[in-house]
A = this chain, B = another copy of it.
Amino acid sequence: MAHELQPGLRDQLNQSGGGGQFLLEDITTEQIARRRGIYEPLTESVRDIIDATIRTEVEEADVAKARALVDEATALLRGKQIDGAYGIRYTSRGESMPWGNPVIGIRNPTAPPLFVERDETGRYWSDFTLGAAYEGPSAHVHGGVLALMLDHVLGEAASFDGTPSVTGTFEVRYLRTTPLGPLHIEAKTERREANKKYVNGHISDANGVTVEASGVFIIPRWAR
């Protein structure tokens, strides 16, 4: 499923401030689904080998064989590729495909990925699971990874009203260490003052909140 662009943002796509920020890729909804069907399983397989690469204890010969297979696969994939990074692609219907994103990107193997939901009150949330690739302290999530997830979801929550915004400042308060495994994240814009939006959020495990975050998001001049 493609990601819906904010209505207000859609109109700004080709204007000066957003120049170069968005790539128009005017394909049909069916083509989007077809591409997702091709590339998402590959991404999941690469996520799996990331985990296996960290945890493997096999000997030199098998590691060398595995590496040769990976290099062969990479050569195949590089047979035709885009220049540079993926970008934020969208269709003229306003569907966006942030597929390269390191938090929600369905084509980015480093993303868990998070599937962020929202309700009509402006609450944004996701249930997700973090494994070996996100470890800081033994068996716990790296504090910076929690900051990465919070930065992203607070940013989505800041766009609840359709006005685009960029992160101004962002603060994280660590209450206790967060175990690897199933987690919950949520965020909501608490208030808007002129061109600033104040957004709060947190991450929790089964025993409650482990990290809180607050962000000030700024509506860029071109969108005011």
Contact = CB atoms under 8 A, between A and B. Distances in A.
Nearest to A66: B73
Interface stretch (A118-126, A147-155, A197-205): A147-155
B62 A79 contact: yes
Contacts of A170: 143, 147, 171-172, 174
B54 A138 contact: no
Contacts of A99: 54
A74 B60 contact: no
A180 B53 contact: no
A58 to B, nearest CB: 5
Interface in A155-197: 155, 166-174, 177, 180
A149 to B, nearest CB: 7
Given A21-B137, A69-B70, A77 B101 contact: no
A21 to B, nearest CB: 5
Contacts of A65: 73, 76
Given A133-B110, A138-B23, A174-B168, A54 B147 contact: no
A69 B193 CA distance: 53
Interface in A92-114: 99-103, 105, 107-110
Interface extent on A, as a size class?
35 or more
A88 to B, nearest CB: 5
Contacts of A80: 56-58
A6 to B, nearest CB: 15
A142 B148 contact: yes
A223 B151 CA distance: 31
B88 A73 contact: no
A167 B174 contact: yes
A139 interface: yes
Given A101-B135, A168-B173, A52 B74 contact: yes
A207 interface: no
A105 B69 CA distance: 22
B54 A135 contact: no
11 contacts: A38-B60, A39-B53, A41-B67, A50-B50, A56-B81, A63-B77, A85-B131, A86-B132, A100-B133, A145-B148, A167-B174
